[in-house]
Amino acid sequence: MKPLLVNNALKRLKSLKQHYQKHIRDNFEHKAKDCLTCDVQGICCTDAHFVNVHITRLEAEAIKKTLEKLPSAKQTEIYGRNQQTIEKYDLTAEGDTFSKKYSCPLFEKGIGCLVHKEAKPIPCITHACYESKENMPSDELQVRQEKNVERLNSRTYGNAWNWLPLPIWLEKLKK
Ligand code: SF4
Ligand code: SF4
C-alpha cells in the first residue's frame, strides 16, 4: 500500500466526504424528515441512549483542524466539554467501545454540528430520520465509505490507528 503524507490524506478524506455528502443529499435526504422543522432538533446528536459515533485518527485530525479555525475561547470550551463527556459517559479506548453511548460534544445549540461542512463523521453523514426503511441509504453504502476511510488511515499511519469514540480521539490529539 503506497504511503500518504498526512496533508495529502486529509485532502483525500475531505473530497471523499464531500462526494458522500452530495450523494446522500441528492439521492436520499429529500425522502427524510426535514431537520429545519424538527421539534426535537439535535436530539440525534445529544441523545446519550443513541449516539456512539466512532471515528478514526485521520478523521480526528480533520476535526481538530476544523476546530482550530474557531476563536481560542470557543476551542477551550469545546475541548472542556469533550473531556466532561469522556468522564460522564465513562468512555475509553479499550474494551467494547461501541457499547457506550454519549451526548456529542460537537453539537452546539443554535448552530448544530460544528464540523458539518468540513469533517463530519461518516455515520453522521448517513443519518437522517426516514419513515420507511426502503428510503434509507443501505448499510453497504456506509460500509464502503468506512473501508475507504480505513485505507486512507492505513496508508498514513500504518497500524497506528483504530476506530474509537469521537471524544477519545479528540482528547488524544488535543496536545
Ligand atoms: S436527524 Fe431527525 S432528530 Fe435529528 S434534527 Fe433531523 S429530523 Fe430531527
Ligand atoms: S459529529 Fe456532528 S453530526 Fe455527528 S453526532 Fe456530533 S454533532 Fe452530531
Q: What angle do CA 44, 40, 136 make, to 5 degrees?
A: 50
pLDDT at 1: 82
Q: Is residue 83 part of a domain?
A: yes
Claim: this prediction has a pTM higher than 0.85? yes
Residue 175 has pLDDT above 70, yes or no: no
Q: Report residue 165: phi and psi, to 5°.
A: -55, 140
169 pLDDT tier (thresholds 50, 70, 90): very high
Domain count, the chain: 1
Q: Is residue 1 part of a domain?
A: no
**Average pLDDT of span 138-143:** 96
**Average pLDDT of span 118-131:** 96
Structural domain that includes position 85: 6-173
Q: Is residue 147 part of a domain?
A: yes
CA–CA separation, 18 vs 13, rounded Å?
9
- pLDDT tens digit string along 19-44? 999 999 999 999 999 999 999 999 99
Q: Is residue 54 part of a domain?
A: yes
- pLDDT tens digit string along 74-118? 999 999 999 999 999 999 999 999 999 999 999 999 899 999 999
44 pocket-lining for ligand 1 (C-beta < 6 Å): yes
36 pocket-lining for ligand 1 (C-beta < 6 Å): no
- Compute the distance from residue 103 Cα to the ligand 1 centre, in Å: 15
